[in-house]
Amino acid sequence: MEEKNKKEIQKTTIGKFGILEISVLLILTCIFSMTSGLFLGNKFLREKEIAHDIPPELNEVIDNYNYIVENFYGDIDKKEIVKGAIKGMIDSLGDKYTSFLDQETSETFNIQLKGSFTGVGVEIVNSVEGITILSVMEDSPAEKVGLKKGDVLLEIDGTDVSDKSSSDFTDLVKQKDGKFEVLIKRGEEQLIKELYKDLVILKSVHTKTYEQKDKKIGYLEITLFASNTFEQFKDQLEKLEKENIDGLIIDVRWNSGGHLSSVEKMISLFLDASHVIYQTENKDGIEMTYSSGTVTKKYPVVLLSNGESASASELLMGALRDELDSIIVGTKSFGKGTVQELNKLTSLDQYKITTKKWLTPKGNSIDKIGLEPDIVIEQDPDYYQNFDESKDVQLKKALEIFSTP
């Protein structure tokens, strides 16, 4: 649960106070962690090509574009004018899930959904001591060279960064090729570590087992529905099933969503092809999507939910409750029941636009409503002090269900 604890600390701190600047050293640019998981995941994405047909009503836009280009007194960047026009169209729709993503934000967005990146694999924060490592990602270059949570970054290849911001530090890192040295402070000791960049896989599935009154209960936590989450989930589920589990807990607390294709395949592991897993509604009507699975699981499944469980998380919970009679434990989910499509521009910017509403298999909309748990239980506030699992009353309640006759 250590990885989960790190993420919850980050979310809780930023969500309440908004004062920490979290930064992740990714790819070859400065990539910032979002201050809310909702931006990252409260959406389903399917890419499509931008249509190039020009309707008559755009004549006024074209006429004014030509007038501006021909008459503006000063230098003009035509690409920026076009980008500004597209951004204006998106902003005018007034939908919080329809938005324009500039190149930097697009890179962050794409990396999170891809589930991997090239970098050193640390999250850093600006603290009173300087640039401090908030977490070190598993199997990353940072972990392999021995960097640890709490280390303070002082220098990179001899350049003093003690009074720099986290973004300044990442700007320096993105320029590096091959190995480079970082000077860190750990307690009262100063150490030099030789760091490098490599492929880092974001692990979005974590597992363990519990013994509950002579029953073996599997536990799968999903932190994000990235494009590589399904393979991680399938692998861990198969390992648990080989241990002959008597039941399964799927934890999507704090999971704000991600790829529609990932959650579709994950649901299909539990339901055969006779089951509807969700419905979509657009201007042309309602369409049902069926499972691609071949079997329906026999063991019971309990789902853990909270107010940050959104989008793909809600689709998973809705499908398994409607079609597998699974029980949801915790607090009401976020209530994000719309589908977005992602369009890429030649400028490398992107925009996402709401095109559909999704419904549960039984045809219920959860948009702006959320899923009400079958067993409502608020988390013990003491749990958030140090994320002591013994105080996780929602998990305890989920485990108790399996011991009920």
Residue 118 token pair: 């090239």
> Which residues, including other chains, have CB under 8 Å from residue 23's CB and lie 6 or more apart?
30, 31, 32, 33, 123, 124, 125, 166, 167, 169, 170
Name the residue among 12, 40, 44 with its Cα closest to residue 260. Answer: 44
Rounded Cα distance between 256 and 115, Å, is: 14
For the question of residue 311 being annotated catalytic, the response is: yes
Find the helix packing angle between 78-92 and 59-71, rounded to 10°: 140
Residue 271 is given by DSSP the state S
Residue 86: how many CB atoms within 10 A of its CB?
17
Residue 84 token pair: 């500004």
Q: Which of 236, 333, 340, 350 is catalytic?
A: 340
Residue 236: how many CB atoms within 10 A of its CB?
19
Rounded Cα distance between 248 and 301, Å, is: 5
Where is 82: in which H helix or E strand? helix 78-92
Rounded Cα distance between 356 and 367, Å, is: 11
Q: Are 46 and 342 in contact (CB under 8 A)?
A: yes
HSE (side-chain half, CA atoms, 13 Å) at 90: 23
Q: Which of 336, 352, 356, 397 is catalytic?
A: 336
For the question of residue 340 being annotated catalytic, the response is: yes
Name the residue among 152, 233, 140 with its Cα closest to residue 187. Answer: 152
Bridge partners of 119, per DSSP, are: 198
Where is 61: in which H helix or E strand? helix 59-71
For the question of residue 10 being annotated catalytic, the response is: no
Bridge partners of 357, per DSSP, are: 281, 338
Q: Which of 236, 262, 311, 333 is catalytic?
A: 311
Q: Are 243 and 211 in contact (CB under 8 A)?
A: no
Residue with tokens 């799927």: 250
Q: Output the CA angle 174-22-181, nearest 5 degrees.
A: 40
Name the residue among 116, 322, 341 with its Cα closest to residue 229. Answer: 116
Residues identified as active-site: 311, 336, 340
